Amino acid sequence: MKNSKRLIYIISLLSMILLGGIFNSCQEENLGYDKNGDLFQPKFVLAAPLVKGNSIALVWYKVNDADSYTVELHFDNYYTSLYKSYTTTDTQIFMDDIPYKTQYYIRVRANKNDTKFNSQWSNTNALTEDRPVYAQILNPVEKVNITEIDVKVSWKIDTANPVDSISVVPASSKDVLSIGRKLTAEEIRIGEAKVEGLQKSTAYNLNVYDNTKSRVYDRPYNQVTFRSAGPSAGQILVMKGDDLDALLRANDLDPTIPEGTEYYLEAGSLFKVTPFTISKGFKLTGSNQGERPQIELNGNWNIKNGGYLSSLAFENIRFYQTIDASYFFNSGNSWTIGEVTFYNCVFNNFRRGFWRHQGNGKYKEVGNFEMNYCTLDMDGGHSGPYGTFALGSAGADNFKRAVFSNCTFMRDYYTIGTEVPDKTRNFKNLFDYGSSAYPIYLEYSNVTIYDYAYNRSLINLQSAVGSTLVFKNVLLASACGKVIQAIAAGCTTSYSNNYTTTDYLLGASSIQGTELGISALNLFVDPKAGNLKIKDPNSPIVTKRVGDTRWLP
């Protein structure tokens, strides 16, 4: 017991000695620091900084004994995203030519040569003004001009707003390199440039500049955003030799596969698919880094009765059939689909029609339908064809919006093989809305029609009261019949910048167009062989950008 008490006493004594030593050490350190040497925080002269355009002026009172002042601009109020730092011996600063329309969090500190005596920060903030009106010359980037590794961009040529350089900067990823360079004399002359070295499936911000301007943030023109091609996270990559048919069927029934799943098809691949009645939407995207993928369809798509699909999408694929009589889509069921899109696709040998509805009273609703940069060529050729779009559900078709832009409809009575073309076996229309009374917005813009719907009407909106039809920049080089078969009361029609060749025997007045006075054979390079490139670069088709712009020289 005595030994235990003695041990506790010794430990207590040692503890007191150690604590005393620490206390004395702290006292000695405090004696080495004279807080009277600290500088006071700068105090601002004005309640807020002065802002003029993209410049900020800041003034503060002098701090006695300060050797200099530090001013920092941050993008956040936690001061973790430094934009720029300034050091000055003055009590004011003019921060000029910084980004427009940006909120800055500003702090100022008084400095001593011995930095341990620097003051605490004084904080304020300021918002620079909008950039003054400037020329919006950079054009949006068309998907058809984007690949996995490069992009072709264009801008409006304007002598008052010259350009001399270009930049492509990742929109979010800091790990992807930016690309910037001066433009060549030829690129400047034509207003077009190709930028290489992109990363796959990456969002980029695109700018062109006039570096002759003295102020940095007045040099760029309007910014355009695009995403490079390529498979992204969540996509299913389908390679050559994979069974796309089996994959689509299995995933349509698999509840773990979400609607809208995208299948990315390897360039140069060929797949054979027997279309089926689908229960959820999907997207088929062909790689554009090489030859366009091809899909042979042995039949037509359908949607299950009572189904609701958010979207169906097809991009950069050649679809064709080898069977005698079918469509891309044909349905007698009742269903609703939010959106259908086709982009940069080719369709061959769909011999009876392209998109057909049937089934009396079977309600079908399409919210938005878009077909861009697509070609229907060498379709038709079967007896009793229904046509390109034939909606025949006895008035139960509700197509809310359909837009066709930069498309070509051509050679619809030619057949792939050895058969002799027969003009009596052509498609009946471009868009036949049947007896539907639901109003539709229908637009054809920059469309080329050659040897199509021979002696047939193109548009039928006979019962759809209150619809809108837009027909602009259309080149009609075909011996088809009336442009409009019938149109309901209360419909709005709009025609502009349309042209016809002598092949259209009814003249251009029905579409408020202009007659070129030459035939398709004289307008196109080799139309019978499918080459509709415009021969004469001075033709109004070129100068006014009429028809499918892919055919312009």
Express each pLDDT in 204-216 by its tens digit.
999 999 999 999 9
Domain presence at residue 30: no
Domain presence at residue 88: yes
Buried b (16+ CB within 10 A) or exposed e, 215-248: eeebbbbeebebbbbbbeeeebebeeebebbebb
Average pLDDT over residues 340-346: 97
CA distance 535 to 278: 45
Express each pLDDT in 397-413 by its tens digit.
999 999 999 999 999 98
User: CATH code at 188?
Assistant: 2.60.40.10
Domain presence at residue 313: yes
Pick the range with the lowest mean pLDDT from 15-19, 163-167, 290-294, 390-394: 15-19
Whether the pLDDT of residue 10 is over 60: the answer is no
Whether the pLDDT of residue 32 is over 60: the answer is no
Residues 312 and 408 in one domain: yes
26 falls in which pLDDT band (50, 70, 90)? very low
Q: Counting beta carbons within 10 angstroms of the beta carbon of residue 13, is it exposed (0 to 12), middle (13 to 18) or buried (19 or more)?
A: exposed
Lookup result for tokens 């051509």: 410
* Amino acid 234: pLDDT: 75
Whether the pLDDT of residue 415 is over 80: the answer is no
Residues 79 and 192 in one domain: no
Domain presence at residue 325: yes
Residues 249 and 223 in one domain: no
Residues 387 and 486 in one domain: yes
For residues 421 and 243, the model is more confident at 243
Residues 486 and 465 in one domain: yes
Among the candidates 165, 200, 227, a domain finishes at: 227
Q: DSSP label at 155?
A: B
Domain presence at residue 20: no
Residues 193 and 105 in one domain: no
Domain presence at residue 2: no
Residues 362 and 408 in one domain: yes
Among the candidates 202, 227, 252, a domain finishes at: 227
CA distance 111 to 87: 9
Express each pLDDT in 77-116 by its tens digit.
999 999 999 999 999 999 999 999 999 999 999 999 999 9
Among the candidates 128, 159, 187, a domain finishes at: 128
Give percent of the chain with pLDDT exceeding 70. Answer: 92
* Amino acid 424: pLDDT: 79
Domain presence at residue 36: no
Residues 287 and 157 in one domain: no
CA distance 153 to 542: 19
Residues 49 and 163 in one domain: no
Whether the pLDDT of residue 421 is over 90: the answer is no
Q: DSSP label at 331?
A: E
Residues 286 and 429 in one domain: yes
Whether the pLDDT of residue 487 is over 60: the answer is yes
Whether the pLDDT of residue 23 is over 90: the answer is no
* Amino acid 29: pLDDT: 39
Q: What is the DSSP string of 228-292?
A: --S--TTPEEE-TT--HHHHHHHHHH-TTSPTTEEEEEPTT-EEEE---EESS-EEEEE--SSSP
Residues 354 and 375 in one domain: yes
Domain holding 527, by residue range, is: 236-551
Average predicted confidence (pLDDT) for the chain: 91
* Amino acid 419: pLDDT: 60
The total domain count for the chain is 3
* Amino acid 13: pLDDT: 36
Residues 459 and 356 in one domain: yes
Express each pLDDT in 109-152 by its tens digit.
999 999 999 999 999 999 999 999 999 999 999 989 999 999 99
Amino acid at 252: D
Average pLDDT over residues 23-39: 50
Domain presence at residue 27: no
Q: Which one, of 482, 460, 456, lies nearest residue 469 by Cα?
A: 460
Lookup result for tokens 């500049």: 209
